[in-house]
Amino acid sequence: MATTHLRACDVPEVRQGLLQWADDNVQRGRRGSGAVQVHGFTDPLTMQAAVRGAEQFFVNDQMTWLARTMGEELPVCAFDADDLPDPVGFLLWSDDPSPDTQTLGRPRAVLWCRLGMTLRVLVLDDAGPYRRALEALGNQAEPAWAKQISGSLAGDLSIGFGASIALNAETSWDEVKHAWSVDKYGRPAKDRYSLSREQIDGINEDQLRVIRTLLATLLLIRQPADARRALWQADHVTPDAAARKRLRRAGAEHPDTPVRYITLRQSIRPGAEDDGGARDTAGRIFRHQWFVKAHRRTYPDKTHPSGHCRKWVGPYLVTPEGCQDAPILGRERVVNVLRR
């Protein structure tokens, strides 16, 4: 895994770089010179509005690990409108949201936007590997590839891939993955770089892992933040004075907007007799079981006029492999029943 050099206080500047790219993309579309389009954000104006109005989140390494582990266990893709911490959000993961990658870049951030009962998702890569590849190849870079890469660089990030996901509905992960094999008209997507079927499948699987991690991240953020039992804690981080000055020069509307910094609570705490090495280890290693909160799911129901019904499921315990005896965080709350 690769931890990003970006910090929570850097998120506003990262978003501002993406906003400047989105503004330029709208202008390219108006000039007819070809705006960049991805699944879910084929309208440049939609992307521009989403970036401008997004709430900002930063998820640290350990919380990303937990979301990544939890995402691998989710049986279906089931984004619920109530699971969104905000209708429009921009989130930066400190660590890789996918345990493997078949692409040049590293998935690092995500923009989501709710439109009706559809969730539009844009995943963004770390721009560093792309910049280094362009510099290394120089004039020898394939022109079409170089043009596409250059046009997708947005400050510290690079436009990765997008998805359009139905809210309040269950979708198989295979259906989500299939969406990347067709274009916006449902026709087989063109392969510009003559990749093999195995390479394309590897890329689609990696993109699917990112969506799994996103769903798990949003579910965890929506967990009750009880000070004694919560899996996570949230702090508000604002850019420093120098960053705020740079944001104002870049035309940011609210340069002092705080970022919600999501941190996983520690489950292994060193005792008084532990030495320094044990304390260091305890600060880095997290091995838990955890409860997923109760949430609604959609099930087929032929007796219902709409053909489906909404039912509550959970809470249920998630136990990663090898963690059968690990401590349980976020235990179910005791319900006190008062009787006369």
Tens digit of each residue's pLDDT (9 = 90 or more) over 179-207? 776 655 555 565 555 667 777 777 888 88
- Enter the DSSP assignment of 139: G
**Angle made by CA atoms 299, 304, 308, in degrees to the nearest 5:** 20
pLDDT digits (tens, 9 = 90+) for 100-132: 665 667 899 999 999 999 999 999 998 888 888
List the domain boundaries for the chain. 8-249
Indicate the pTM of the whole model: 0.71
Q: How far apart are CA 13 and CA 250, in angstroms?
A: 9
How much is the pLDDT for 128? 85
Question: To which H or E segment does residue 221 belong?
Answer: helix 197-221
Q: What CA dihedral angle connects 33, 37, 42 and 43, to 10 degrees? A: -40
Rounded to 10°, the helix 61-73/197-221 angle is: 110
Cα–Cα distance between 255 and 235 in angstroms, integer? 18
**How many Å apart are CA 295 and CA 67, to the nearest integer?**
17
